[in-house]
A and B are shown apart, each in its own frame.
Chain A
Amino acid sequence: MASVEIRNVFKAFGSTEVLHGVSVDIQNEEFVVLVGPSGCGKSTLLRMIAGLEEITKGDILIGGRQVNNLPPKDRDVAMVFQNYALYPHMTVFDNMAFSLKLAKAPKAEIQERVQRAAEILNLSDYLERYPRQLSGGQRQRVAMGRAIVRDPLVFLFDEPLSNLDAKLRVQMRAEIKALHHKLRTTVVYVTHDQVEAMTMADRIVVMHDGIVEQVGDPITLFDTPDNLFVAGFIGSPAMNLIPGRIGRRDGRVWVEARAGVRLPLRPNAPGQQGQEVVYGVRPKSFQIAPSPGDDTVDMTVGVVEPTGDEIEVIAKVAGEQVCAVFTDRLALKPEQTVAVRPQLDSVHLFDAGSGKRLVA
């Protein structure tokens, strides 16, 4: 059980700097997900916590102890790799017992701890098998079992589900979450999949180009993204972002987009008259309006994709491509123009220059 503190960490490979001063505090027993597009430095950061990459500048503390110069084996962390990294020449039992054998644990203790981990993960029947005789999900569980057996201070997961098919991924997602609930160990989990991040994390760290864009619990990130990057990254389908200028007159506020199209805002919306902004609205925040009005905007339907539960519409608003999701079974046709009303409370405004969220 331990906290992980990452203090102003830099990482350079030769002359290429990939992490530009990252600070994250991870509490004891917390499930933190590092998420970001590929190349954002999230895996590098995880490998630095594990001790597989050197820290160019800054400090990493595990359980209050500085680990910058400790080799991986002395950090008391366990890591689950994307391709599982099971030792192909060892049985499941030996894979799980490997670290204990290296630590010269008594035989009875090894037996007991491996058995316990195998029970937690439903692997008891497979202990004598070799990795090649297991399915993807079972291999994934063995990789986790190998970590559990160690009873480490921190679990590190490096995109552990990306080699599994979609159905198994959803199942393993739940299993990992349940496992965390049961073991109450600090978890640092890396993924590029924002759905995984949203569903599993206590807190999410959104990374982009070697910096932390925002840290927060999933709902905070979804409801109040700090900047354009987080707004566009969190949520599926992604938030619609339409550039424009703020207009104010007679107590009314709007964003004037291309071709003079006015996007409605709530009266207390932030921003100066004429300020260049980006208008953000989530696909599910559109409602069909019976007739055009001051609080509606015209949407030209492009493609209609019914999924059964809902209808996803790819359309144009003010010349920008947007996505709208409706739960009603609407009879929308391509090329049709409908008036839609954005829910004004869930409209986000970002400064076009800095990308930062505008706050009232």
Chain B
Amino acid sequence: MAKKEELGGMDYLVTLPKRVVTVYIPLAIFLIILLFPFYWMVITTFKPNEELYDLGRNPFWVIHPTLDHIKKLLFQTHFPEWFVTTMIVSVASTFLSLFASVTAAYAIQRLRFRGSEMVGAAIFLAYLVPPSILFIPLATMVFDFGLFDTKWSLILTYPTFLIPFATWLLMGYFKTIPYELEECALIDGASRLQILLKIVLPLSVPGLISAGIFAFTLSWNEFIYALTFISSTDHKTIPVGVLTELVEGDVWHWGSLMAGALLGSLPVAILYSFFVEHYVSSMTGAIKE
């Protein structure tokens, strides 16, 4: 063991008690706070109603787990349709937004046209307009175009908040790609489009992934537009469907609600776990040669 004077930097982490105090305990507290709602969701999903409504029992545990709530959700509601709708809407609006954002961010960042900075600022301002204000004029437009109660009403309106966000994220990412790479490609004979496709996009994969994940998650969880623009039960998205169909007056079907929340959050969780490395690298670092 090294003498105390020789320790420096993060060497203080070498002894177990210090590591417990400085790392593990804070991490554990953080994790408990973060994961408790998820845990509550899971146990409620599998708790029979007798246990759920008996206040005398230990609320943190399930004694006789049941699949009744999940069965009710899957076979007595339109949950499978909601799931498919949510998936289609999220994927479509994510790709639409990414396409628009890539071209917008590249143009603003690299083409240096007159007023490009103002356009960048304007896009950011658009992001600051809250959806709770925007949904009223958007509703008029959705009606006028005959899109009410269709998937298109969501696929075309979600980009209003996805594009500003993704554009800003990608502008920051494109900024980290050295100019010389593009100039070199210009001399090598590439057109602007080829530079975008063969140089900039391959180098921006982590940025594209995080923009994509963000866009997908925001679309997946979106509530207010989906509530406003969709009326028939089988066209609803998961967040709206679960809430409107599993709360009957003052009766809350807690078990099925939680089952819906659990099944609804799984795709996002799985998506994150696949791309977590890219996601972290795009948030913390830039292009490495």
Interface string of A71-82 (1 = CB under 8 A from B): 111000111011
Tell me which residues across on chain A come within 8 A of B194, comparing CB atoms: 102
Which of B184-192, B246-254, B265-273 forms contacts with chain A? B184-192
Contact of B188 among A83, A88, A102, A132 (CB under 8 A): A102
Contact of B183 among A52, A88, A89, A103 (CB under 8 A): A52
User: In the complex, A86→B180 CA distance in Å?
Assistant: 9
Interface string of B163-188 (1 = CB under 8 A from A): 00000000000000010110111111
Residue pair A71, B190 in contact (C-beta under 8 Å): no
Q: A88-B289, A89-B203 are in contact. Are A83 and B180 (CB under 8 A)?
A: yes
Tell me which residues across on chain B come within 8 A of A72, comparing CB atoms: 183, 186-187
Whether, in the assembled complex, B199 has its beta carbon less than 8 Å from a beta carbon of chain A, the answer is yes
Shortest B42–chain A CB gap in Å is: 41
Tell me which residues across on chain A come within 8 A of B56, comparing CB atoms: none
Shortest A286–chain B CB gap in Å is: 45
User: In the complex, A256→B288 CA distance in Å?
Assistant: 60
User: In the complex, A83→B190 CA distance in Å?
Assistant: 20
**Smallest Cβ-Cβ distance to A131: which chain B residue:** B289
Q: A83-B178, A83-B180, A85-B184 are in contact. Are A73 and B289 (CB under 8 A)?
A: no
Q: Which of A13-60 contact B (CB under 8 A)?
A: 50-52
User: In the complex, A82→B180 CA distance in Å?
Assistant: 9
Whether, in the assembled complex, B287 has its beta carbon less than 8 Å from a beta carbon of chain A, the answer is yes
Residue pair A99, B287 in contact (C-beta under 8 Å): no
**Smallest Cβ-Cβ distance to A89: which chain B residue:** B202
Residue pair B180, A81 in contact (C-beta under 8 Å): yes
Residue pair B183, A81 in contact (C-beta under 8 Å): yes
User: In the complex, A81→B187 CA distance in Å?
Assistant: 11
Tell me which residues across on chain B come within 8 A of A83, comparing CB atoms: 178, 180
Residue pair B288, A88 in contact (C-beta under 8 Å): yes
Q: A81-B180, A85-B181, A132-B289 are in contact. Are A103 and B189 (CB under 8 A)?
A: yes
Residue pair B187, A78 in contact (C-beta under 8 Å): yes
User: In the complex, A73→B189 CA distance in Å?
Assistant: 4
**Smallest Cβ-Cβ distance to A102: which chain B residue:** B189
Q: A102-B194, A131-B289, A132-B288 are in contact. Are A85 and B180 (CB under 8 A)?
A: yes
Residue pair B183, A85 in contact (C-beta under 8 Å): yes
**Smallest Cβ-Cβ distance to A104: which chain B residue:** B189
Residue pair A79, B202 in contact (C-beta under 8 Å): no
User: In the complex, A86→B288 CA distance in Å?
Assistant: 11
Whether, in the assembled complex, A87 has its beta carbon less than 8 Å from a beta carbon of chain B, the answer is yes
Tell me which residues across on chain A come within 8 A of B178, comparing CB atoms: 83, 85
Tally B residues with Cβ within 8 Å of A. Answer: 19
Shortest B282–chain A CB gap in Å is: 15
Q: A131-B289, A132-B288 are in contact. Are A79 and B199 (CB under 8 A)?
A: no
Q: A86-B289, A88-B203, A88-B289 are in contact. Are A73 and B180 (CB under 8 A)?
A: no
Tell me which residues across on chain A come within 8 A of B189, comparing CB atoms: 73, 99, 102-103
Tell me which residues across on chain B come within 8 A of A131, comparing CB atoms: 289
Whether, in the assembled complex, A98 has its beta carbon less than 8 Å from a beta carbon of chain B, the answer is yes
Tell me which residues across on chain A come within 8 A of B190, comparing CB atoms: 73, 98, 102
User: In the complex, A50→B184 CA distance in Å?
Assistant: 10
Q: Which of A215-262 contact B (CB under 8 A)?
A: none
User: In the complex, A97→B170 CA distance in Å?
Assistant: 28
Shortest A90–chain B CB gap in Å is: 8
Residue pair A51, B187 in contact (C-beta under 8 Å): yes
User: In the complex, A89→B198 CA distance in Å?
Assistant: 10
Shortest A194–chain B CB gap in Å is: 25
Tell me which residues across on chain A come within 8 A of B184, comparing CB atoms: 79, 81, 85, 87, 146
User: In the complex, A310→B141 CA distance in Å?
Assistant: 85
User: In the complex, A43→B202 CA distance in Å?
Assistant: 29
User: In the complex, A131→B190 CA distance in Å?
Assistant: 20
Which among B186, B188, B198 has the greatest number of chain A C-beta atoms within 10 A?
Answer: B188
**Smallest Cβ-Cβ distance to A158: which chain B residue:** B180
Tell me which residues across on chain B come within 8 A of A79, comparing CB atoms: 183-184, 187
**Smallest Cβ-Cβ distance to B181: which chain A residue:** A85
Q: A83-B178, A85-B178, A88-B203 are in contact. Are A77 and B187 (CB under 8 A)?
A: yes
Using CB atoms and an 8 Å cutoff, list the residues of chain A in contact with chain B.
Answer: 50-52, 71-73, 77-79, 81-83, 85-89, 98-99, 102-103, 131-132, 146, 150
> What would 7 more interface pairs be, CB under 8 Å, given A52-B187, A85-B178, A98-B190?
A72-B186, A73-B190, A79-B187, A85-B183, A87-B185, A102-B190, A103-B189
> What are the 9 A-B residue pairs with the smallest beta carbon separation, nearest first?
A85-B180, A99-B188, A73-B189, A85-B184, A102-B189, A72-B187, A81-B180, A89-B202, A88-B289
Using CB atoms and an 8 Å cutoff, list the residues of chain B in contact with chain A.
Answer: 178, 180-181, 183-190, 194, 198-199, 202-203, 287-289
Q: Identify 21 residue pairs between A and B in the complex whose beta-carbon atoms are under 8 Å apart, listed by A's number.
A: A50-B187, A71-B186, A73-B187, A73-B188, A73-B190, A79-B183, A79-B184, A81-B180, A81-B183, A83-B180, A85-B184, A87-B181, A87-B185, A87-B199, A88-B203, A98-B188, A99-B189, A102-B189, A132-B288, A146-B184, A150-B188
